[in-house]
Structure 1
């Protein structure tokens, strides 16, 4: 039952409130970086698309935010293009989101709200993915999480800071919103509404043309639908990988290095003795000696301890220094002078009097440089390898930044450069379902942000292998020539032609109904044999139980019509049209204790609060001041669409 109102907000009646509430939540956890540099101008990184108070939104930031939005949408629709995103108002939506975030930050800081370093640190420590195996915060886990999500510490802190300021300033305006009982009853009663009528389906396949279009027809269709034939941007990459093998023999330690390590770590190779003990700590010396006497007389150590109300403990692989630290020098001397199997003499520590039986002795003689050489070489070789590969990577990065070519670097390292076919930003070979080489997956996004001929270096997830690469060729996103996609265009023309003919049939049927014919009679008057209309009878309560995504589009339309009306509705994917006829609307009874009242009071109240939050955001924007640079925004739009001017 709790899903009723959630699903209701996804219908036409509740859509505005639902979008407001979902937008509010999405805003609080937005992931766009915030910068404060730039001035009005073109599309260069320092130019501004808008100014919010004293904060400037750079065109580079807007460009990146739009690219991030496209990448996010491709998780659900891999084929969506930037042209489609922009055409659907995506760029304006992204800019509005950034403006809202800036407005919250500007207003909150002006009015004394803060999110300091300590608070941000506590939020970071609370990130589940930043916890290690022990369940506590781990720097390594945090760094790995940032790498996985292509974030920096600065970006994480900026996002958390924006979210915290939002929680402090905007959320209180929406929390605990109360609805008047009259409105609660109105919303609850809406779910008791029952509608009945009929739905007719007019399949486009029944009107499909089997002939080919003329040259004039296909040319005209192509010109009117150019955006449907846009090819995505493609890039060809050249790349090579290298690891510590590129260091050759340089990682091998010299004799001097080995000797120095042996001398600097002499304690690691000195004589060492480890012992195991069964230990007992007694409050008094007399008590310890009494227990020792009973053990020497033949009683077991455990029995003697138990008779005094005590219990022995086991100590494994203990060194003298460890006992000296945890107990005392006297205890360590007593424990390490007794022979294996013997009971030690009582010795005192701050905890009491210690006695123990020596259960095992592992004495290791001092090691010489020759006996330790292999171990030292292994340690030094690994240290040299890690340091060497890191220094090599930094050196290559500096050289590439200074203009060195990818080919020259590859030649010096003895690497073989490989080239890819044309790739799309989704990481696929253009025109196929084949994926790019797996090694390139971590850098595909970056490769689509750099210029042609630019060379870069990046570490692969194992942090042991590095990748050097460059964009060898960029083919901008553009409309495919008709000659190249004629067959595709003809197929789409047929589909659209059938849809147009189907709509014409729907218009004829709708006109007959309006002139007094029944829906069944209007359908039968068509030359094409159409399916008979299907009767429908639903309440809003029944629809809500199905879930919003399961409600057929004609039924959703049925609940947005006036009684006694008939409307047409286009089907999805050019599959045809529907005629929806609404006969009656009745309201079922609403009991005084109906659970719908409680749910309306709670869930509609949340949407009511979301409206308060939206009004709060609008007031913040008005107070701090927002100015948009239409020329810069237009320049970003042209760049995203691949237009040269």
Structure 2
């Protein structure tokens, strides 16, 4: 609800709803407090339930937000690793804990305040007056009622009041601000010893069978093949439906004729023009005078007294082309206003048009060159034309075929063969898939959810028609099912051997980095120490903690700024594994604090606001912990685990 409002309305939203963006929890919307849901709540906070329906919706919204933010390139494994269920449940519990707190504290948003805010919103006005119909239409479009919407708005205002109270209670002192500037603008002279993984690999022995067996025994729980299934399915798509579509020669010829017509229309012309502008408020006499000026220019050009380019430089009112002799360059179809384009299309190369009127004035147009697109013969285009006709026919029959497949698979729930025969399609087979991953059609989450649903998995029925995209749907049924299975040592031996070898390499690199660190002192030559150890020394440079495109990777810079200053005579250093698999020893040779005297008052104000916000979040975190400790929170683990967002 908040996001819908923020996107649709400005003004009072800045006062009433802009809050909570700095609060580390999500307000999921008050509408679900008043709606029903599944009977068994996922959790209760002081008697206030979190329905399973609300929980599933919140998890789904979070998943979709993450997928959208990352451009759709999110694997099921990544989503699973985020532990969204627990995060969302914590957020919803926090929200309810705060809701109970503000109610007990007596925070209220008076009806009059809410009414004034709504009535003052320009989006709800017609001719300056509040329009009830506009308001009700907006609320209805949000999928709620006026009562629920206003209840949610009251809750938002109350929560904003709480945040304001917390924020206003924080004070940023001048010494605090100076200390932050010193840290924020601090620079460090950072060098790095780099130990390449490739140099160590051959020096580390392969793990013994005994080590592999011991690792397997200690980590059996990691080697479980998840529950999985193989599917039989019928697929509706342009590819599967195309063979059933008969294409006639007449249809191919018509498609080719359309292709030719389209190609012929894509003529690119090189054009120049002369513009005699006409003001928008010009009277008839001014319009006629401008036309006569254009006619005189045309007569001079056609008679040979002057060239088109010279006349354009002399009389054209178009500043963009005047000094170029009126040259507009290449003009493709659709680039110019309609009267100009129609006159241009009618001209032969070298011909000067009569004056053409547009909203800009009178134009003289000359086409100096034409470029016609290549038109391939039908013999070369037949396959493409057949494919186009098939695609068009598939679009026409897809809906009916989908209805037929849905009906047939429902009427014959124990087999896909009758449906396949009725539609003239094949029953296809999938590879193994589990709840979180699959290939082919099983890469689609909708398919995996249906495959492990009670009806399809347990009752062994056909699924409903599953829409996968435009003109693309499937009906599935489970062909084979395997419960979660313990993998044998033989199945995972190579995997364990790789893991143990990697661990040994990691340890060898880490040990080498620590040994180098022990040899580094203020008097030592880092280059010589690194070379003796078979490592590479990256010479130190002065860097800020936010440095980009530095010779030292960002993760090493971050580690360097986490180091405490070293005692006299020593260098501060830290070994760390780099994300590329190599090892590094980051070395800090000198430190310079930022200077508070060098920042502007505007920067100070912005920084002070950031500190205040951070302190407010910290205060809110402490408040939330205290409230959660006092609240009676009941979590229904079974309901939470059975939720399928």
Output the TM-score relative to the length of structure 1: 0.51
Q: Does 1:508 align with 2:515?
A: yes
The equivalent residue for 2:304 is none
Q: Does 2:91 correspond to 1:97?
A: yes
* Alignment partner, residue 203 of structure 1: 196
Measured in 2, the distance between the counterparts of 1:227 and 1:71 equals 31
Partners of 2:187 and 2:594 in 1: CA distance: 7
What residue is the counterpart of 1:236 in the other structure? 230
Task: After TM superposition, list the pairs within 5 Å mapping 1:125-136 onto structure 2.
Answer: none
Match of 2:617 among 606, 610, 613: 610
1:216 correspondence with 2:210: yes
Residues 463 and 589 from structure 1, CA distance in 2 versus in 1: closer, same or farther, beyond 3 angstroms?
Answer: closer
SS of 1:405 mapped into structure 2:
coil
Counterpart for residue 544 of structure 2: 539
Q: Secondary structure, in 3 states, of the residue corresponding to 1:607?
A: helix
Show structure 2 runs of 5+ residues with no match.
1-18, 125-133, 238-283, 285-396
Q: What is the distance in 1 between the residues matched to 2:407 and 2:110?
A: 39
Deviates more, 1:159-168 or 1:496-505: 159-168
1:590 aligned partner: 596
* 1:179 alignment counterpart: 172
CA contact (8 A) 1:70 1:82 kept: yes
8 Å CA contact 2:195–2:582 kept in 1: the answer is yes
Q: 1:191–1:32: structure 2 CA closer, same or farther, 3 Å change rule?
A: farther
The CA deviation at 1:102 is 2.9
TM-score calculated relative to the size of structure 2: 0.51
1:154-553 pair list within 5 angstroms: 165-166=155-156, 168-169=158-159, 170-173=162-165, 179-209=172-202, 212-223=206-217, 231=225, 234-240=228-234, 405-407=413-415, 410=418, 414=422, 417-425=427-435, 428-429=438-439, 435-436=440-441, 442-450=446-454, 452=457, 453=460, 455-458=462-465, 460=467, 467-475=474-482, 480-513=487-520, 519-520=526-527, 522-526=529-533, 529-540=534-545, 543=546, 546=548, 552-553=554-555
Task: Identify the residue that residue 80 of structure 1 maps to in structure 2.
Answer: 77
Please list the CA deviations of residues 428-449 of structure 1 after superposition, one character each: whole Å capped at 9, or x if unmatched.
41xxxxx3279x6654445455
| 3-state SS, counterpart of residue 457 of structure 1 | coil
Determine if the alignment matches structure 1 residue 56 to structure 2 residue 56.
no
SS of corresponding position for 1:508: helix
Match of 2:563 in 1: 561
Q: Once the 2 structures are TM-superposed, how far is the Cα of residue 108 of structure 1 from its aligned partner?
A: 5.5
Query: CA separation of 1:600/1:234 partners in 2, compared to 1, >3 Å: closer, same or farther?
Result: same
Aligned to 1:311: none
Answer whether contact 2:45 2:633 (CA < 8 A) is retained: yes
Q: How has the CA–CA distance of structure 1 residues 585 and 49 changed in structure 2, closer, same or farther, with 3 Å as cutoff?
A: same
Q: Contact 1:234–1:422 at 8 Å: present in 2 too?
A: yes
User: How far apart are the structure 2 equivalents of 1:568 and 1:499?
Assistant: 15
What's the offset of the Cα at 1:506?
2.0
Q: 1:215 to 1:461 in 2, by over 3 A?
A: closer
Aligned-partner Cα distance in 1 for 2:58–2:224: 22
Q: Is the 8 A contact 1:406 1:469 kept in 2?
A: no
Unaligned segments of structure 1, at least 5 residues: 1-19, 39-44, 127-135, 147-152, 244-302, 304-384, 430-434, 641-645
Secondary structure, aligned partner of 2:77: coil
DSSP-derived class of the 1:216 partner: helix
* Aligned 8 A contact 1:235 1:475 in 2: yes
Question: Which structure would you say has the larger RCO, counting Cα contacts within 8 Å and 6 or more residues apart?
Answer: 1
Separation (CA, whole Å) in 1 of partners of 2:150 and 2:207? 57
Partners of 1:608 and 1:109 lie apart in 2 by: 24
Q: Which stretch of structure 1 is more off in the superposition, 195-204 or 585-594?
A: 585-594
Aligned counterparts of 2:174 and 2:82: Cα–Cα separation in 1? 42
Cα 1:33/1:456, change in 2 over 3 Å: farther
Report the CA distance between 1:498 and its aligned residue: 0.9
- Kindly indicate whether the alpha-carbon contact (under 8 Å) linking 2:190 and 2:542 is maintained by their aligned counterparts in 1: yes
d(CA) in 2 for partners of 1:229 and 1:160? 53
Structure 1 residue aligned with 2:321:
none
TM-fit CA distance, 1:106: 4.4
CA deviation after TM superposition for structure 1 residue 99, in Å: 0.9
TM-fit CA distance, 1:154: 7.5
Query: How far apart are the structure 2 equivalents of 1:617 and 1:218?
Result: 47
Distance in 2 (CA, whole Å) between partners of 1:235 and 1:436 is: 13
Q: Which residue of 1 aligns with 2:5?
A: none
> Cα offset for 1:515?
11
Q: Which residue of 2 aligns with 1:262?
A: none
Q: Count matched residues.
A: 432
After superposition, the C-alpha distances for 1:20-56 in whole angstroms (9 at most, x for unaligned) are 9977366146899779999xxxxxx865654202123
Q: Does the aligned pair in 2 maintain the 1:173–1:612 contact within 8 Å?
A: no
Closer, same or farther in 2 for the Cα pair 1:443/1:558, shift >3 Å?
A: same
Instruction: Indicate the SS of the match to 1:436.
Output: helix
Show the counterpart of 1:571: 577
After superposition, the Cα gap between the structure-2 partners of 1:50 and 1:229, relative to the gap in structure 1 and judged at 3 Å, is same
Measured after TM superposition, the shift of residue 217 of structure 1 is 2.3
| Residues 489, 159 of structure 1: alpha-carbon distance in 2 compared, 3 angstrom cutoff | farther
- Any idea what the Cα deviations from partners look like across 1:399-425, whole Å, max 9, x if unmatched? 78xxx7342895599355443222355
Query: Do the aligned residues in 2 keep the contact of 1:570 with 1:578 (CA within 8 Å)?
Result: yes
Aligned equivalents of 2:575, 2:107: Cα separation in 1: 53
Cα shift at 1:600: 0.6
